[in-house]
Structure 1
Amino acid sequence: MIAKAATISHGGNAVRYSVNKDKAEIVKVNFLPDYISAEAMYQRMVLKQKEFASTINKGRPLKRNVIRMEISPTKDETAGWTLDDWARLANEYIQVFDSIDLSKKAKRASAKSTNVKNSQYVVALHHDAKSGIPHLHIDVNRVDMDGKVNDDHLIAERAMSAAYIINERRGWVQPEDIYEKRRQEITDTCMDVLRSLSNFSWSGYEAGLKAHGYGIHLQEDDKGNVRGYSVLLGNSSYKSSILGKRRHLMPSKIEVTWARLHGERKSLVNSTVEQEKRTATVQPNNPQGDLSALVFRHYDISTDEYHQYHVTISEEADEIIRKECSVLDDNPFATIEDVRKTALLLFAKYLDGATSMATSSGGGGSDMSGWGKDKDEDEREWARRCAQMANCLCKRRRGLHR
């Protein structure tokens, strides 16, 4: 089982998504009627916050007013489950989540525990449309029934720690093992699809993956060239950079991999090298940092269902980020693409988006005070600093309960 948690400012949308999604089933509500609409549930949460508005958060508005949790056991772990089984899991998870003491690490007494059990929340069961894998969504009022604010410091780590504890109790597979098993299964499928193609094409590759029950998200530049892709399974996304050995399923290498499987490696390698040479000849010689002469790349980066950021970056700065970004092997939650996206968001000055991306990758928590682009800093140095900061932000948080 894996679990995620974050505080969000779009609580109304989150509750509507949890309750109203096609085939969603209400597992449990806490301090809320179970017969009212999603909108009415959220409004009751807001009313509770207004009841204590003068005392919570030192009288300032509570911007991130809902805790959003997602709990995803494996399909085998929940085979044959009823709604009562899911309710028991939700109760157990909330009890463990509340009990984890992070006060020393967060250096805040309020992080000693949360009080979700005494807060308004709704638990909904979703089934992924493609894979059918079930998972829970829990939306919690940040303000409990006594008017105290549920602490959100290191909340992603709190969620992962709770998952580790429950996995140990129940003898379930830990996140690293789930991640590695799925990564290998997807790699094997990708290789099988390549073997089945008489000629390589992205449309054929996409169709082959879909035939095996996977989705695919292609990232194209403004010329229609595929620069990256992710294989989708349920709510999980696996970047091409972490599939296979030596990244041989990435867009820059996948045609060579196809050719190797079909005994045509030499000719395709030569043509790929020639293409790289032709591409290199059109790269601008731009020692003075004249951005008007550069080719620009465009990315749309999503940090969750509701937040998407558009990033425009020069090709030169983008290449610096690609080269400077790295991820440690001991962090199973982050990929090189997660780090790169964090750097791109930093480059475009989307600080909230960057910290959210890093947190969802098992990192976060670094001091960002004073962070920003220096007045006279050129784009290359700024890109390099963004990559270095992304590497730091996406380092695995220590102290998880095992």
Structure 2
Amino acid sequence: MKALAWVVAAVLLFIMAASVGMITVGTAAVVPAITEQVRLDPCSAIDPSSATAHLSTSPTTGFSLPKWGSPRHQSLHSAAQTIPATVKALYVAAANRYKIPWQLLAGIGMAETRHGRNNTTSSAGAQGLMQFMPGTFASYGVDGNGDGKKQIHNDADSIFSAAHYLVASGVKKGTSGVIKALWAYNRSISYRNDVLYYAWAYAGKGGVVVDAADPDECLPGDEDLPGLDAPLPGFDGVCKPSHSSAEHGLRRTAIRGLRCIHAAFPQIKSMGGRRSSSSSTCSYSDHCKGLAVDFMIPKWSTKAGNSFGWRVARWVQAHAKALKVKYIIWDVKKWNPAGGKGWRPYRHPYGNTNPTLAHRNHVHVSFNS
């Protein structure tokens, strides 16, 4: 037992000694207008020239974060990658709530799943963007997106739960607290050093942040998308009433848009219009303003259904000016007139966890007032 005690003491001493530097980083408050824009169009937060995701932030509370030590493993051969804009927004929001650096959460997200790019269940059973074991999530999981549920595979819940777990593990108790909290998260010295290395990189004071797939995917270029050669219905500007209850509560431009699209594609039998102002999505959804319509695609999960959805989306795109279209979302892609002809990757604020959130089963069209 004495030998074991000496080994434990040596490990603890090494952990404490590895804190060879300090960095002060700040939790940040996201400017509401920027957050709204990022929710509507994640790619708008990505600067293609630097291939780095940015949000407008301002420091509020200093936080001492120890510098990485040795050994490292993952970060030696895999540099920090750019963060998808919606994921970074969640890191910042969780950091604001729990008063910790968003860079620390980003370091964990990079080390665990590359910010959700490799979001599969681990061999040990860890799940979600921040890789929680189900038992740990049951004890420390929180509702990050305010939908009344705690879901291990929901990105918001995963990130907010990680922040909650770090605080519960003592991350705010100085340098030793950060080290102990990361040890609680994953009992590996190299893992802790990888996380800290990545955190310093995202703070702009460590290693480089390399380009990942996301920024390139946000550049125009949709030659491979379906529907380019499919014949589209004509448009004479005469749009008769649809007799759909979805017209109720819509603004004038949305009513006309609904009628015109339905007239061109009568195969669409189900549509969704205005939502109650009490909906949890009203902070960013045009549905609550009566300026958006969802066109449900028949047999959307089949190849034929997907192609039909693209015909609808292409038709709306072709007549966007006449219909006063603000933007279109379909099949995890988004298009808006200001962005040119290219379709960009789309990610729902609550994650693309089901066909509705990912817009695989309906074409969403928002209209200008």
TM (normalized to structure 1)?
Answer: 0.24
Larger helix proportion, structure 1 or 2? 1
- Of structures 1 and 2, the one with the larger relative CO (CA 8 A, separation 6+) is 2
TM (normalized to structure 2)?
Answer: 0.26
